[in-house]
Amino acid sequence: MATITFKGTSITTVGSLPNVGDQAPDFSLTNNSVQDISMADFAGKRVILNIFPSIDTGICAMSARHFNGVASGLDNTIVMNVSKDLPFAQKRFCGAEGLENVQNASEFKNTGFSSNYAVIMNEGPLAGLFSRAIVVIDEAGKVIYTEQVPEIVQEPDYDAALASLK
């Protein structure tokens, strides 16, 4: 269980992110075309999982914009925004913002991602949604970086996440 804060108030998650060096847990998520996707769909590619509560909040939107800005310069790397938002909301947001270098994934149909990555918040006003976290996975499917952002209204450490790819 991770202890984080929401505007200074302590809350917990259901568990801890996968450990660096571990095989990335599998998942089944839904993309913008309402098709299921899994880790197998990204075999041989590096994956940045940009995990957050909702695309329709300020910090989540900023992280999606930031990663979109750097994604086109990353070789063999997929940046995926992951939340419980409906695929339609994710697609609408990225379309309105012109975000074409990131992919979106929703847990609205399957719950394996939140179980395997332990990112559900247990309490507080956002209980049941994902915490803000980054998980970077290499071409072999190994976790090479994780960040459980300590304060929900704080942006992740983009530089550290991107440095893990070098």
Positions annotated as catalytic residues are 60
DSSP code string of the chain: --EEEETTEEEEBSS-PPPTTSBPPP-EEE-TTS-EEEGGGGTTSEEEEEE-S-TTSHHHHHHHHHHHHHHTTSTTEEEEEEESS-HHHHHHHHHHHT--S-EEEE-SS--HHHHHHT-BB-SSTTTTSBPPEEEEE-TTSBEEEEEE-SBTTS---HHHHHHTT-
